[in-house]
Amino acid sequence: MLDVTQRDAAARLAPTLGALGVCPRCVLRFAGVSDEAQYARSQADVWAELRGAAGSEPAAPCAEAGACCVCLGMLALVDDAESAPRLLAELTAASIGARRFAFDVAMPSSILVRQRGAFLHANASVGRERMLRYDAIVDAKGVLKGQFSAQVAATLDALRDDASPYRVLLTVEHVACERESEAIVDASSRGARADGGKRQRVNDPSASSMRSVLKALSEPDCRARLERAGLCPPPAGVTPCSASLRASHAPVCIGGRYNKYSREMPQTPWWLDNEKRGISSVQEELQTVLQPAYAASATVFHGAGREDVDVRMLGSGRPFVIEMQEPACLEPGTAVGTPLAELEAAINLASEHVQVSQLRVVPSSSIGDLVREGESEHRKAYRCVVWLSRRVSAREVADKLDGAGEVLLEQRTPIRVLHRRPLLTRPRTVYSMRSELLNGHYLMLDLVTQSGTYVKEFVHGDFGRTHPNVGSLLGCSADILQLDVLSILDER
């Protein structure tokens, strides 16, 4: 039973909202009833109590008129003798034995549009002294989460825990009402343009996103736009919504370091003109072992920077995180019972070109840390083989390169990356160089540079776009034949 205050508030709204075709649970929401136990009662039980408290016979909501005109039948899903058992049976089949689960609901934005229309209509009917506060309406999504998650918990024999990596998502859809949200957002966009705004009309699904709809519903002319769209009050007689239940595990993130020993392998799959380039990729070499072990649907690779396809990654390796998407993983740190040390060994045995070390489960927040690490101002050590257009002596190379100390570069964006990088001039520093003359025209050069230095361009000059460069320091043309990353220095 409702307490006296709640019952009186709901009973005052029952005649107006019931006449529109609003369900009893939505009447409770509009009355500000937050007690989850009240929403667990049957619709008929709630309506009987409101009818008795109203002192008159309010119109029965949704009677022979289809689903609730506000929630589109969403709050009646738990009562549906066919839908609820079907959804829960699908969940049981997809379960991977998790003992805790996080639960969420994705609902159509048209419910918010219809809720606003019903609110404005009800306020115009109840009188100024009884006007509703929109922010007091209880969230329909929260009500359904409370209702349905209890059934999910009983089905899985598990506890609801919003921090759990095992996720259950109830998706509610109503195709016939999708255009309602789009119409409100489009009307808002047209209004902004008429007022001299720069907003452009959006013709993709994001036009009816929750954020766009909430913004449109908060604007001063919201009521006029809802009335023009025939949504204030919202029309009755709608068909019930449909729903689906989907379970998945949050991505499991595996961190570590990789070494790459091939000069024909990118970090991630490389496609050019619909043709795959390279013999494989670092990501593919790892996912060949990790993806089936985790029974993951896909993988996403993140590196702390990346080397070119023809550059080897040596030394202690480059830090990376690879995400296992939707894995059938029961416990963090294991993949279907296989220790990560065994998976690390399996990768290293299977791959001729990539070796990994320090594999471990890491939090998803480490991906952002990895990106920031790749962009940070640490130093990198390289080794390259350089060709020179004229014969040089060991003394000349030692004086002009090894003895140069720190060299400050001005690097314009290289021609080879202009298609994906803005045209800028970047100051970069080469901290040290150490050379070994192989013969008069060839030398091996070790150098330590600032992060973000284009080493290939420092050698050949990129048609004068990098200055100074090895060629200008030695007074000849220079080109780079091979390049390796020896190590990433100054790491935390």
CA distance 401 to 382: 15
Q: Which two tokens stand for residue 1?
A: 């039973």
Q: How many CB atoms lie within 10 A of CB 395?
A: 9
b/e string for 51-74 if b means 16 or more Cβ within 10 A? bebbeeebbbbbeeebbbbbbbbb
| Phi, psi dihedral angles at 180 (to 5 degrees) | -65, -45
CA distance 184 to 177: 12
Residue 308 is among the residues annotated as catalytic for this protein = yes
- Alpha helices (H) in 76-195, listed in sequence order: 83-94, 110-126, 140-156, 178-194
390 near 476, Cβ under 8 Å?
Answer: yes
Q: How many CB atoms lie within 10 A of CB 472?
A: 15
Name the active-site residue from 161, 308, 369, 402. 308
CA distance 268 to 30: 52
Handedness of CA 322, 328, 331, 333 (dihedral sign): negative
CA distance 35 to 132: 19
Q: Which two tokens stand for residue 30?
A: 């509009």
CA distance 200 to 186: 9
CA distance 34 to 29: 7
What is the C-alpha end-to-end distance of the chain, expressed in Å?
60
Give the CA distances from residue 373 to residues 70, 314, 431, 490, in Å, rounded to whole numbers and listed in that order. Answer: 49, 18, 20, 10
CA distance 265 to 354: 9
Q: Which two tokens stand for residue 196?
A: 């001299």
Residues counted in the chain: 492
Residues recognised as catalytic: 308
